[in-house]
Amino acid sequence: MIRCWFSFLLLGVAASVPLLAHHSFAAEYDDAKPIKVTGTITKVEWQNPHVWYYVDVKGDDGKITNIAFSGGAPGQLMRRGIMKSNLQIGATITVDGFKAKDGSNNAFGSKVTYPDGRMVFTAIQEDQNKR
């Protein structure tokens, strides 16, 4: 009986580890600090728990800043028809999102717009509906 309870407790702890690694939008990003930048995609990481894409943005002073944008989970995006190929390295894009609370060059990217007007929503739809 004790062994059964111990096994149940161990299973509960093991199952909660992925939850601890995943942070909510509100824990990491500031919805009072929207960001909209135009730049060039330099890198795409298409892996769980969230995709990341990196964009070189040229400031008014000519300095290039690389901003890392977090998007939805790959599985969620693919179910909506968004594939890794939608974020092509070297492409010029405009990203709408929200800055990280920690002041880093990280942000939550909710929408990517290409110069021809095509849009890719890289955030999960539930997050889109909250804004």
* Residue with the larger pLDDT of the pair 102 and 124: 102
Residue 73 burial class via C-beta count within 10 angstroms: exposed 0-12, middle 13-18, buried 19 and up: middle
How is residue 86 annotated by DSSP?
A: G
What is the predicted pLDDT for the residue at 23?
A: 54
pLDDT digits (tens, 9 = 90+) for 9-23: 444 444 433 444 445
Which residues neighbour 107 within 8 Å (Cβ) at sequence distance 6 or greater?
29, 35, 67, 68, 69, 70, 95, 97, 98, 99, 100
pLDDT band with cut points at 50, 70 and 90 for residue 123: confident
Q: For 22-130, which CATH class?
A: mainly beta
Cα–Cα distance for residue pair 46/87, rounded to 1 Å: 10
Whole-number percent of the chain with pLDDT over 70: 76
Could you tell me the pTM of the whole model? 0.76
Place of tokens 């942070």: 23
- Domain regions of the chain by residue span: 22-130
